[in-house]
Amino acid sequence: MAVWLFDAAAVVLVACAIAAIVQRNPLYTALLMGVVFAGLAIPFVLCQAELLAALQVIVYAGAIVVLFVIVITMLGSESREALEEQLSIRPAGTLCALVVGILLAALLAGPAVWVWGSQRAESWPTLLSRNTEAFSAALFTGRYIVPVEMASLILLAAMVAVVVMIVRPPPGSNEKTTTKQ
């Protein structure tokens, strides 16, 4: 049952991923990417990593792709075409895609060979059914508490920086005059 589901999900996900790259309409690309991100939750669930599955959907499909979709819908199609004509980005884009593709292939090939060699796929651990607790315990009380807090502090600093940069009133703002009225 699990293997069958995994195969079906894998076929759909790879197909969507390929479609996302081949697709010319940027909105479709973003939506297909959303499908891939959300669909990645299925393998996670099959590995009994429900927490990761939920986070995958919340963070990637629910937040990141939503931002992509918002940006794409706000850019008019006219401006997009104009941009494409002006920049003639095709050669540069092809080059970038090639480099990224080679890097990705190298990255993926390493672990794949390793898994193949050691036959790890067969002894996939059937994890604890309550692994959410184990995961959070390791994250918040165990050995990872310091890195987690550090990361949260760094993110907080970045957020504060963004707010400071944005909220600064523009020079010559007429705030005073409006309140006096």
Partner 1 sequence: MLVQILILAIKIVCVLLFVMGMVPVLIYIERKLIADFQQRLGPHRVGPWGVLQPIADGLKLFLKEDIMPANANKLVYVLAPIASMAPAIMMFAVIPFGEPVDVLGHRVGLWLADLNIGLLYVLALSSLGVYGIILGGWSSNSKYPLLGSMRSAAQMVSYELPLAVTLLGPLLLAGTLSMVGLVEWQMSNHWLVLMQPVAFVLFMLCAVAETNRAPFDLPEAESELVAGFHTEYSGFKFAMFFMAEYAAIVSICAVAVTVFLGGWSGPVLPPIMWFLIKLFALIFIFMWLRATFPRLRYDHFMQLAWLRLLPLALASVFLTALVLCLPVPESPALVAAANAGVIAAVLLFELLMRARRRLVQEKG
Q: Footprint of partner 1 on this chain (CB under 8 A)?
A: 27-28, 31, 34, 38, 50-51, 53-55, 57-58, 61-63, 66, 69-70, 73-74, 129-130, 132, 179-180
Q: Smallest distance from the beta carbon of 152 to partner 1, in angstroms? A: 13
Q: Using an 8 Å Cβ cutoff, are 20 and 33 in contact?
A: yes
Q: Which is nearer to partner 1, 119 or 129 (CB)?
A: 129
Within 13 Å and on the Cβ side, how many CA atoms surround 147?
A: 5
Q: Which is nearer to partner 1, 118 or 152 (CB)?
A: 152
Q: Which is nearer to partner 1, 117 or 169 (CB)?
A: 169
User: Apex CA 128: angle with CA 125 and CA 50, to 5°?
Assistant: 95
Distance CA 49, CA 2 (A): 14
Q: Which is nearer to partner 1, 13 or 37 (CB)?
A: 37
Chain centroid to CA 177: how far? 45
Distance CA 143, CA 62 (A): 30
Q: Smallest distance from the beta carbon of 27 to partner 1, in angstroms? A: 7
Q: Smallest distance from the beta carbon of 40 to partner 1, in angstroms? A: 13
Q: Smallest distance from the beta carbon of 31 to partner 1, in angstroms? A: 8
Q: Which is nearer to partner 1, 88 or 126 (CB)?
A: 126
Q: Which is nearer to partner 1, 89 or 158 (CB)?
A: 158
Helix (H, G, I), strand (E, B) or coil at 125: coil
Helix (H, G, I), strand (E, B) or coil at 47: coil
Q: Smallest distance from the beta carbon of 99 to partner 1, in angstroms? A: 32
Distance CA 86, CA 75 (A): 16
Q: Smallest distance from the beta carbon of 34 to partner 1, in angstroms? A: 7
Interacting residues of 132 by C-beta distance below 8 A, sequence separation 6+:
50, 51
